[in-house]
């Protein structure tokens, strides 16, 4: 379940709307052969899509996985959705890796970011 | 980090578009006093919003948390955003619980669900 252990812990930042996102929620099966390798390959592939803005991923151990991909426009998302190697991975996901999933494709209308200004440290005074 | 251990592992299903979602990605601080209790209270409160459709949550241990809330329309989301008790929790989150977060509010244009038809079991023949 540590497929994404190497991913940075920084969330994708708020971009200027409009942009698109795809929320992919998954419950996995016990059959995970080649899942990690395929996933890593997909993470590499998507970076080549013009207009790709980034990806957030979280996985509750033994529970729900959520991946959110961000794209500049609908065309970028369509290009990713129809990529031949990605489609093959989708088919294999339905055949083997996923007990269930839901995909929500949405156009971002508003976004907001927050970053703590000072590093957390013991009170100085 | 098991704040959501009691949550069902079923992702929120695909609804008929259009509907709204809010993706909330968080990196937490070391200061988590009252976080679990407040979070549980928010999960109860949001259920009272007319048009609330559900919530997905995943938390990578020591890493990113992603919460996605789903709402029938923009008004439902506005009602939740401006709820007085929710706003107080937001302020406390910025003051104590979150190192950083990003919020993306988006209108769903397309959705799709998949559920495995047969229960996973050893091949029957």
Average pLDDT of the segment spanning B102-117: 96
B68 at interface of A, judged by CB pairs closer than 8 A:
yes
| Tens digit of each residue's pLDDT (9 = 90 or more) over B63-74 | 999 999 999 999
pTM, full prediction: 0.88
Q: pLDDT tens for residues A24-34?
A: 999 999 999 99
For domain A28-104, give the CATH number.
Answer: 3.30.70.100
* Cross-chain CB nearest to A102 (options B13, B23, B30): B13
Using a CB-CB cut-off of 8 Å, the residues of chain A touching B55 are none
- Chain B partners within 8 Å of A60 (Cβ): 4, 57-60
For residue A36, what are the CA distances in angstroms to A33, A48, A92, B88? 8, 19, 13, 40
Please determine, for residue B1, whether its predicted confidence score (pLDDT) is greater than 50: no
Nearest Cβ partner for A102 among B4, B105, B113: B113
Token pair listed for A31: 């059959």
């Amino acid at each position: 379940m540590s497929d994404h252990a190497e991913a940075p812990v920084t969330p994708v930042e708020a971009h200027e709307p409009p942009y698109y996102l795809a929320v992919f929620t998954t419950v996995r099966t016990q059959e995970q052969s080649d899942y990690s390798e395929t996933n890593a390959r997909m993470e590499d592939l998507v970076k080549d899509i013009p207009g790709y803005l980034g990806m957030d991923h979280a996985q509750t151990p033994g529970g729900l996985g959520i991946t959110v991909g961000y794209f500049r426009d609908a065309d970028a998302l369509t290009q990713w959705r129809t990529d031949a190697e990605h489609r093959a991975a989708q088919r294999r996901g339905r055949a083997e890796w996923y007990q269930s999933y839901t995909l929500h494709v949405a156009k971002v209308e508003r976004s907001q970011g927050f970053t703590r200004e000072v590093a957390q440290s013991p009170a100085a005074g």
